Amino acid sequence: MCDDHVAAGAMNFIFEAGVLKRAARTGWWFAGVKHPESIAEHSFRAALIGMMLAAMEGADPARVSMLCVLHDTQETRITDIPHIAKRYLTAVPNTAVTADQVAACPSAVADVITAAVAEYEAGETLEAVVARDADKLECLVQAVEYRHQGIDNVQRWIDSSRATLKTASAQRLADAALTGQPLAWLTPASSAGPARSRGEVNQR
């Protein structure tokens, strides 16, 4: 339970998180992507990848997905800073940014979020390792998609992301992404059996 004042603080964090739906992943500008995906779009698929990797690696899928959802929430305040820009800036720890963001939330909420971000940043638990792999793998997958859309200058993102992957499952998925086709899923697999009409599907 929380009073109206604390509820307003929680709502402010929810509103703030909405900025991620409009904030771009700016590093892609250097590759020639004029309108890159949003930070929220990246985090969504990273969470999906993280859930899958967790199942493959014996980690907690729910925990990994949570870490992925929260891993870039600080960028509502510091933005998505391109890698080259970081050499000119004095870094503030993401844990400190998160603490400010949730300071007005109910203490139970703040504790959960700050603990998750701290775990991700430390990178020591299996769930954190998997979540960090999911972040990098999503970047690699996005680069592959951009390349198929005609953006040629993405190889450095592919190479750097692949090189940082720690788990065997993430490495295998990365290799599958590099040899696969982004729209292959539109072609039914032969093992799926004969296609059914919409009427047949609705009768089930």
d(CA 17, CA 55): 27
CATH of domain 4-203: 1.10.3210.10
Query: Distance between CA atoms of 144 and 177, rounded to whole angstroms?
Result: 7
Task: Return the pLDDT at 204.
Answer: 47
* Number of neighbours of residue 148 by Cβ within 10 angstroms: 11
Indicate if the pLDDT at residue 174 is higher than 70.
yes
pLDDT at 128: 99
What's the whole-number mean pLDDT along residues 30-54?
Answer: 98
Per residue in 121-169, pLDDT tens?
Answer: 999 999 999 999 999 999 999 999 999 999 999 999 999 999 999 999 9
Q: What is the pLDDT of residue 203?
A: 52
- Domain ranges, ordered by start, for the chain: 4-203
